[in-house]
Structures are given as C-alpha cells and as structure tokens.
Chains A and B, each alone.
Chain A
Amino acid sequence: MRITVTVNGQPHTRDVEPRLLLVHFLRDELGLTGTHWGCDTSNCGVCTVHLDGVPVKSCTVLAVMADGHEVTTVEGLERDGELDVVQRGFVECHGLQCGFCTPGMLLTARWLLDRRPDPDEAEIREAISGQLCRCTGYENIVRSIRWAAEAQS
C-alpha cells in the first residue's frame, strides 16, 4: 500500500505492507531510531510517539493506519536547535540512565504538560504508568517532569 505519513512535520510517502507496524516504519523505513521496541505485548511503552498529538504505542499501530496523519517522534521534540523543556528536565534531574525508555517518556511528558501544565506527583505517575523503566525507579522521571512544568510556567 502507498501511504503518506507526516513525521515531525515532514511528509513521507512509501509503499508498505499492510502488516508493517508503525514502530518499524519509523525505524526501518525512515531511519528514525529514537523510537524503540521493548516488548511484544504493548506493555512497555518505549515505542510511544504522538499520533495527531496523542501518545500511542507505535508497536500497536499499523503504519497504514497512520496514512494521512501526523506523527511526532523524539527527533521532533527539539525545535530550531532548542531542546524541549521536557528534554532539559530529564537532563537536569537525571531522569534517564540507559536511555532506552527515554524517548517514549519524553513524548508522554510533553503530552501531559500540554494538557495539565502543573501536574502533581500522582498525576505524573499515572500519566507514565503505561511505560516501563528498568533503571530509574521512576523517582527522577517524576522530578524531571515537575522540573519541566515549573520551567515552562
């Protein structure tokens, strides 16, 4: 099937099999390898991207379903050489270690702050509960998102 997906503002047209997962479309077809793949049951969330502004697990979306839609990946968070405030928050508060869950966490954090500019700890924990991290024990991710909320207000 021929599809056109706008990724980080850039339209991409490709012929793909209907069964191709969006995560593999992004990684293998477009070379956007910031989006990771960590499980095969839609639990871990390291593949999280925005589809029309909403976080989705791209391992659970077919590339053809994204035809005509807008996708944002971690590579699209930085604008004009300026890091997104959530990216800065994760650096400031040591919200990452191996970095494998980080792209997905960042996109969920961005989505959360777009909707709730001043989330409390419980709201942050609930927002990221669909995403596993094996390194940080979550504490510094929560702090990173709080830092970002305060920095952007």
Chain B
Amino acid sequence: MHRKEDARFIRGRGTYVDDVRLPGMLHGAVLRSPHAHARIVSVDVSAAEAHPKVRAVITGQTLAGLNLAWMPTLSNDVQAVLATDKVRFQGQEVAFVVAEDRYAARDALELIEVEYEPLDAVVDARTALAPGAPLIRDDLEGKADNHIFDWEAGDRDRTAAIFEEAEVTVAQDMLYPRVHPAPLETCGAVADFDKVTGKLTVWCPTQAPHAHRTLYAMVAGLPEHKIRVISPDIGGGFGGKVGIYPGYVCAIVGSIVTGRPVKWMEDRSENLMSTAFARDYHMRGEVAATRDGRVRAIRVKVLADHGAFNGTAQPTKFPAGFFHVFTGSYDLESAHCEVSGVYTNKAPGGVAYACSFRVTEAVYLVERMMDVLAAELGVDPAELRMRNLLRPDQFPYTSPTGWEYDSGDYPKALRLAMDMAGYDKLRAEQAGKRARGELMGIGVSFFTEAVGAGPRKHMDILGLGMADGAELRVHPTGKAVLRVSCQSQGQGHETTFAQIVGHELGIPADDVEVVHGDTDQTPFGLGTYGSRSTPVSGAAAAIVARKVRDRAKLVAAAMLEASPDDLEWGDGRWSVVGDPSSGRSLAEIALAAHSNLELPEGVEGHLDAVTVYNPPNLTYPFGAYICAVDVDPGTGQVKVRRFVAVDDCGVRINPTIVEGQIHGGLADGIGMALMQVMAFDEDGNHLGASFMDYLLPTSMECPSWELGETVSPSPFHPIGAKGVGESATVGSPAAVVNAVVDALAPYGVRHADMPLTPANVWRTVNGDPFRTDLAIP
C-alpha cells in the first residue's frame, strides 16, 4: 500500500519544527566557542542587550542562577548547557540571544564579547590518559584524569587460554572514525511557556518525546503534567535526535524569561559541531583459529572517544552499548572484550547514526577480522564465513558474551547473496583484471544485528524501563485510532502500524489513524531508535489489537446470544463455530458496543484497550552483503560497481518500506566507508563542520542496489517481525572496506581505515596511510 505520510510530504504540507509559527514568537541563536579548550575570563553581553530587536540574552551565569547551567546526560554524566567556567569543545554553547527575528538574533551574537584564556586541548584519544594530559573535567569533584569508564564482557581467562594454544592468531588495529548522522533537518525547538496556566509546550524533533518530557520535569523542576512535548514531522533522525541539546533548554528558558514563544533552529555547521557524533572507536581485534579455518575465539580492546561530556545514549547498564555482540554470526568457543572510555575536547555523543547501540562497531570489527584471518590463511572470505556461521539448529543460540540470538538460517542467506552476485564469476573476473594490473575488489559482510531494546529487567534509560505502551480505540463506525510511543522520522510508522492493527482487526489499514509524537495524547514509551519500533511498539500494537478483538468477542457473543466460548475469529469476523453466516464484522460489533445492547456483567461497553509491551528479548535480524568495487590505481578513486544485500528481518510488515530502509542504510555504508569523517587539527579545530568537507553520498556515488530476502521469523514476537532500520548501516561499511582492501591485496594491504577517500587509498597503496580522524599524522 502507499504510505499515508506521502500525501502531505509531496505537497509541502508536512509540519516540521521550523514550520511552526506561534503568535508573538521570538527567535533564539546560540553563541559558540571558537576554542576547543579555554577558560572563560569574562562574558560581556551589554552591546547585544542594547540591540533594538533583542529581547533577552542568556549566559551561563543566568542559568546558574536557575540551577540550569548543567544538565544530566543519558549516561549519568553532566553536560554544560551554557559554559560557566570554561569551554571544552569547539562549538560549545556559551550564550543564547532571543530576538524578534532570526537575522537579528544572529546579528546580536556578534555583539557579545567573550574573553577566553586558551588551554591545551586533548584531541587524540590515545593521549587522553597520558601523564600530564590536560584535565578536561575539572568540574567533577576529585576528577584527576580524563578517564570515564572501563567495562568488559565475556570470559577473559578462557579466551586467553585458547589464544595461548591456538594454531593461528591474527591481530589488527582499526579505527571506526568519528562520523555524524547529519539528518537533513537539523535540530531545533519551539518552546512556549504559558505563565497563566503554568504549562510548557515544546515542539521539538525528538525521537523520544516522552523521555524528553520526563527529563524536562526532572531538570527544570516543572510538574510533568504541565509539560507537553510535541514531536512533529521529523526530517530524519538517525539517532541524532535522541538526546536533549543545550539549545532546547535555552529555548525553554528564553520563553520563561520573555513570556513569549521562542524558536531555536541550529544551522548545519552547528549540527555537525555540537550534536551527537557517532562511532570514534579505536579497536584492536584478535582472532584465534585452527589452521583449517575454524574460528575459536575473539578478543577485543577498545578505546572509546566520548568527547568532553559523556552524553552517550544507551541503556544504563551498557556503557559500551551492545558492543559485546562482536562475536557476530559465528560459532565461537569463547570471547572477551574490554572497552575504556575517555574524555577529549570534542562534542559529546557516540551512539547515533543507526548504530543499534554500538553494533555498527561490533559488526565492523568482526567482519574486518574475518577478512584479516582469511588473508592469513589464504582462504576465500566467503568460504571462511560459511565454515563458521551458526547453523539453523543452534537457535536460540547463547553467544559467548551472553546474547540469546532468536532465530536464523545464516548459510541460506549467504548462499543467496553469493548466487545473486554471481560470486564465482566475480572472482574469475577479478583474477582476469589482476592479471592485467587492474584493481577490482570483492567484499563480503555477514552480520547479526541486536535490536529492540529491551527487556525492562536489564535495560533502562536513566531509570526508565525500555517498555512501550499502545492504546487503541475503535470508534462506533468501526474506524480506529492507535496511539503509540514510538516516533517516526521517516520510517513510515503511520502506515505500517496501521497495517498491523488493520491485519489483526480485519479492517482496512486506511481505517486506522496512527497518533504519535504528542505526549499529551500518547502512552508513555521510550521512542524510536535502535530499530526498536517494530520489536517493541509493533508488538504492542499487535497485542493491543488482540485485546480489542477479545473484547469484541464478548460484545459479539451478546449480539449473537451465544457463549463467547462458541465463537471463532475468521475473515475479520466473530461468528458461531460452524455458522459463518452468523459472523459480525468489527464495525458491526463496534456500533453494538456503543449502543443500548445489553452486555454481560463486567463488560463495560465501547471498544478500546491499552497495553504495555515489555519485550522478553531483543530481535536478531541478519544479512549477507557482497560489494564489488573498482579502484583506480593512479588516483585511488573507488567506484562501487555492485552491491548485493540479502536481509532477513523475519516477517516483513511492508516489503516496500523495508526495502527503502535498506537502500538508505546502504548509502550510509558507502558514505562512511568512502567519504565521511569528522577530522580535527591539533588545536581541536573541527575540520569537517559543513557539507563542504563532511561529504555525504549523492546519487552519483550510489550504485543501483540489488536486494534479496530470506524470512526467519522471531519466535517470541507477536507477529514474528524483527527490526531492520539499522541493519544496512550496520552491515554495509565492512562490505565496502573489505572490497577495497581486497582490491589492494596485490600491494600487500591487509587493512586500511575509513574513510577510503582517494587520498587515503593512494597513500595506503604507497605505504603511507594517515590517521583519517586527525589532520596531523
């Protein structure tokens, strides 16, 4: 079916946050730090305040007076809203101007005088813990270094023992560079505090409106029932719109101070410089294997660069997210990982950009290591994977680090991808090209995702369990309204959730209106990220529809003067067993439920239900990707010629939408592997803070994607569906990098770090690769 959302978007009738206009609305703008690390000596806002169109100037001191200069992050750290003592990354928020229009607000920023005393910056995470490294977080009581956390998973001793006796071991250092999700719509907010009612309304493109509401209540001390967060149409999120940014708090304070609505919209450079980055994992992977290519154990050490404030968005007990799914799709004896987080003078973030809580990093690590091992053993990378993939009869499978994979037929998916790609022919073509001195590479990536966070017992965000509610109301004429806590940013929830309910109730999906994004109207839940909508809210939608169906059964029994036990559901109707002609459709039952029909004791009438879904486990979609590239040896230019992607996300609610999700994620993979990086110079200047330097793939860099599918339903999910939104972003970068490294094999290249820009490929071939995240080697 066509998407319900499209009708407004193709007409320019969506309502994104910057489209919101309220009477008397003012405009805010943020003054940002030009330094990566500097003490603030003084802030003089007198000239800005004197600007005829300026209505308020807010500084860190203003906020300190309200106890709002700092706010909690999603990792139980604190982040400066407006800097009071010093600035800790370039682009950090220092002051906020509220003016009559957006141009005047920007003008006034230039009238603010800030005196800084520059400090040495920590730019390279590898030096953050060195003795004498500049101390970034002197605001934290007793903090004497830049260390954030150490975390480990798996069996250290057993893994070490296997490595000691293993026939073959390989090791490889690799960097997953700092990138940014860069949704086309930046972040922003319209805050409207009504002094009369005491009600605060915040329009904001947040992926988690209910969590925002609760946090605003906790941070600002406002009563939660007087806060309404409205997440309107969102121009892409990709994890960049999960957390609370200082601009939101400033807009709220601006509205409280001026008594008028305040809009704040960041521009692109602000978005890239200050909102959640992704990745920035320095990883050392090791694999122990037998000579004939059985992978026995994997060991990983990670240095995680978290920037100046630990703002990483992930469940509380998981400081490195779900990185410990790094054993991937393979049957290992043991595994162990250690992750250390450090502060640097960069913007906070880490978990964003379709990473499923660090699964991007985990999959990249294992899929690169499989190729490193394949090269060591002289085995074809696809063959090596085939030898080690989990077998279908092993599911549910408990991994060495404790994940319980739900279902899968991995060999089938890999074989399908190889058939679609014509793998053997591609290899033959490659051999021919190599003989002629041409560079062609083939990359394989087989990934297992872990999405749908998650079981409330283990997973919470700042104490809020990761369960999601759903409410379903059927109107007297049989039309339904579903209210959910997830929040689409383009993933098509208004369509697919209507399909789920329509399917369960036997009514057309067009008869189901999906309401999301308004905390006054929707049940509590944690929102959309980590591909959790289908696993959690999708399950809630199915279950609440089944509850309604069960209630409808009681009403139908009254209508038919039969016992509910004698009724059966089929063809969208409740009917007496063996008598289909007695059937009553949901619309007929809905009207009766609202009528003067006499109902049995305990049946209240009307037709509605609520539910909260607490998932028993994550879902584990998987995929087999094969990429073919040509590399120009003279220039280092990589051309992605083909990309075959077989995805298995269990039952597909809407195949067209699933394919669109995969297409978008594959483009992410091209972008990360070949183009995107947030680089810094030694002073901490951000060198990728605009689309001039932070390159995103266009229609010219993307090939025509070739998709295939297998279906391994999730056994515990009410409709057997798994998440899929992030699969392609998770799975595809390794396929592209593996292909490029494969192309460069004649030069003895075994690894090269992303992004594989022409310059980096050229230098790699010439034995002089550079650190892609730093402008300095």
In the docked arrangement, what's the CA distance between A125 and B667, Å?
A: 14
Q: Are B10 and A83 in contact (CB under 8 A)?
A: yes
Q: Are B12 and A97 in contact (CB under 8 A)?
A: no
**B interface residues, tally (CB under 8 Å):** 59
Q: State the total of A-B contacts with C-beta under 8 angstroms.
A: 179
In the docked arrangement, what's the CA distance between A73 and B7, Å?
A: 16
Shortest distance between the CB of B746 and any CB in chain A (Å): 31
Against B, the Cβ 8 Å flags (1 = close, 0 = not) of A113-153 are 00000000100111011111111111111100000000000
In the docked arrangement, what's the CA distance between A20 and B660, Å?
A: 37
Interface of chain B, main secondary structure: loop
The yes or no answer to A92 lying at the interface (CB within 8 A) is yes
B8: nearest residue on chain A (CB-CB)? Answer: A99
Q: Are B103 and A94 in contact (CB under 8 A)?
A: no
Contact pick for A39, options B102, B490, B690, CB 8 Å:
B690
Shortest distance between the CB of A111 and any CB in chain B (Å): 15
The yes or no answer to B688 lying at the interface (CB within 8 A) is no
Contact pick for A136, options B7, B267, B664, CB 8 Å:
B664
Chain B residues closer than 8 Å to A40, beta-carbon distance: 267-269, 690
Chain B residues closer than 8 Å to A126, beta-carbon distance: 699-700
Against A, the Cβ 8 Å flags (1 = close, 0 = not) of B91-127 are 0000000000111000000000000000000000000
Interface residues on A, range: 35 or more
Contact pick for B235, options A24, A36, A83, CB 8 Å:
A36
Chain A residues closer than 8 Å to B10, beta-carbon distance: 74, 83, 87, 90-91, 96, 99, 102, 106
Q: Are A137 and B235 in contact (CB under 8 A)?
A: no
B101: nearest residue on chain A (CB-CB)? Answer: A28
Q: Are B268 and A39 in contact (CB under 8 A)?
A: yes
Q: Are A90 and B6 in contact (CB under 8 A)?
A: yes
| A87-B11, A97-B664 known; A142+B699 contact, CB < 8 A | yes
Chain A residues closer than 8 Å to B656, beta-carbon distance: 94
Shortest distance between the CB of A63 and any CB in chain B (Å): 12
The yes or no answer to B436 lying at the interface (CB within 8 A) is no
In the docked arrangement, what's the CA distance between A125 and B490, Å?
A: 22
The yes or no answer to A17 lying at the interface (CB within 8 A) is yes
Contact pick for A41, options B103, B490, B667, B690, CB 8 Å:
B690
The yes or no answer to B425 lying at the interface (CB within 8 A) is no
In the docked arrangement, what's the CA distance between A99 and B238, Å?
A: 14
B663: nearest residue on chain A (CB-CB)? Answer: A137
Contact pick for B11, options A31, A75, A132, CB 8 Å:
A75
Shortest distance between the CB of B261 and any CB in chain A (Å): 15
Chain B residues closer than 8 Å to A20, beta-carbon distance: 103
28 A-B residue pairings within 8 Å (CB atoms): A28-B101, A28-B102, A33-B15, A36-B16, A36-B18, A38-B186, A40-B690, A41-B692, A43-B692, A78-B11, A94-B656, A96-B10, A98-B236, A98-B237, A99-B490, A100-B235, A100-B490, A106-B10, A121-B704, A126-B700, A128-B698, A132-B691, A134-B182, A134-B667, A137-B663, A137-B665, A141-B699, A142-B704
A residues near B, CB below 8 A? Answer: 17, 19-20, 24, 27-28, 31-41, 43-44, 46, 73-75, 77-78, 83, 87, 90-92, 94, 96-103, 106, 121, 124-126, 128-142
Q: Which 3 A-B pairs have the closest CB atoms?
A: A34-B12, A98-B490, A99-B9
